[in-house]
Amino acid sequence: MKIAKASVNICSPGRNFVTLKIETDEGIYGLGDGTLNGRELAVASYLSEHVIPCILHRDPFQTEDIWQYLYRGAYWRRGPVTMSAIAAVDMALWDIKGKALSTPVYNLLGGRSRDGVLVYAHAHGAGIDEACDDVARHLAMGYKAIRVQSGIPGLDATYGVPKGGQPYEPAERGLPSESRWSTEKYLNHVPKLFARVREQFGDDLHLLHDCHHRLSPIEAARLGRELEPFHLFWMEDPISAEFQEGFRVIREHTTTPIATGEVLNSIWDVHELIRNQWIDYTRLTLTHAGGFTALKKIADFAGLYHVRTGCHGPTDLSPVCMAAALHFDLAIHNFGIQEHMPHGKETDEVFPHSYRFEDGYMFPGDAPGLGVDLDEKLAAKFPYQRAYLPVLRKLDGTLWDW
Ligand code: CS2
Ligand code: MG
């Protein structure tokens, strides 16, 4: 079997997605997600201009060699654009392998290591009361793990709390919006939020929280320590993820488990974090970190150090990535948890899939390959629209990490 054709689809059914379709001379095709929120066209062009010409006529079963060719062969290493493009190819090739062998991808990765994939939902509210109402709503839907974010008194907007009942983190058309931030107000508020959530919902529920890179190591250490009585499943991205050494300070002061990695894209971004046991969960995704071929190696390395996975799974990654993540999560031994943010109706219709949610767990389904498709006709009705993530400034105007 040979790769006969490959094309990049860019569509916006609710938000922008970049999908690579690789077709073989035997009529089998595979899909890969290359979406990089706010920088979609850079990946699309990297794929069309630089990657597709190099993979034509190759054997699609040679996932390892093609991965090495695209990574080492380019000379230039890492980075979200490069690694998302490589991931899109890798995912599509594993999809083809699964279809050619008539088996779901998880069987090619080691088979089922568990019955289902534990996922966490997102609860949020303008204040503590509203956030608790949202926790109750998600519990009623069957979720066993819930990330909780709430508005901060004195701040107009904050990460993880969409305004006016919009879906979580809508793609913002036009140039980036700006909002203001106060670490002091945030640090004073979050322990109160979790004290209330634990009091109202008891000990069984897994609770998570995302700091979204905004703290210094010692501020994160303070927060982790103050959250200890509420036994979080994890405190996510307490500081800028690329500052590996910074996690040492946090670790020395608190037993609250730490997760990071959603903005990182290779083993070299996390190997110190893992080797020194400064984190408990890696958040690397299949899309941004080079696909199955790369993530499997990272997970196996992490497993030696009792570090588990918690793949990033926001709505700005397509259902192709979600499907891929579920195959991966089901198969690897040191799986921790999977983020689940349901896509909107339009996105689900453009990407029909076999995965499903039931009683707090997700299941990739038994369709051969990834079990996800792209309805190209429907996708054409949702053309790309430029959209950006917001930008953050401190109260005095200093640019900050969003
Ligand atoms: C987030 C993301 O899912 C998460 O934990 O941190 O929502 C992140 O902000 C977006 O994926 C950025 O594109
Ligand atoms: Mg996050």
CA-CA distances (angstroms) from residue 28 to 3, 38, 79, 107, 166? 9, 31, 30, 19, 39
Considering the chain, what is the average pLDDT of its residues?
96
Q: Rounded to the nearest whole angstrom, what is the distance from the C-alpha of residue 28 to the centroid of ligand 1?
A: 33
d(CA 200, CA 286): 36
CA distances from 99 to 1, 9, 95, 258, 283 (A): 12, 21, 6, 37, 28
Of 33, 169, 284, 389, best ligand 1 pocket probe by most atoms within 8 Å of the beta carbon: 169
**pLDDT at 170 exceeding the cut of 70:** no
Which domains, ranges and CATH numbers included, belong to the chain?
3-104 (3.30.390.10), 108-368 (3.20.20.120)
Q: What average pLDDT does this structure show over 109-130?
A: 97
Q: How confident is the model at residue 168, as a pLDDT? A: 65
Can you tell me which residue has the tokens 């499943």? 233
pLDDT above 70: residue 157: yes
Enter the pTM of the model. Answer: 0.97
pLDDT for position 22: 99
Report which protein residue has its CA nearest ligand 1's atom 2: 314
Counting ligands in written order, the one closest to the CA of 388 is 1
CB 368 within 8 A of CB 99: yes
Query: Looking at residues 48-56, what average pLDDT do you find?
Result: 98
Residue of 210, 260, 284, 343 to test ligand 1 pocket, by largest number of atoms within 8 Å of CB: 210
Alpha-helical runs (H) found in 120-166: 128-140
Mean pLDDT along residues 209-234: 98
pLDDT of residue 275: 97
- pLDDT tens sequence across 57-103: 999 999 999 999 999 999 999 999 999 999 999 999 999 999 999 99
Q: For residue 398, name the pLDDT band (cuts at 50, 70, 90).
A: very high
d(CA 399, CA 380): 37
Which of the ligands is closest to the CA of residue 288?
1
CB atoms within 10 A of CB 10: 18
pLDDT at 138: 97
Q: In the predicted model, is pLDDT for residue 338 greater than 70?
A: yes
Local structure of 42: helix, strand or coil: helix
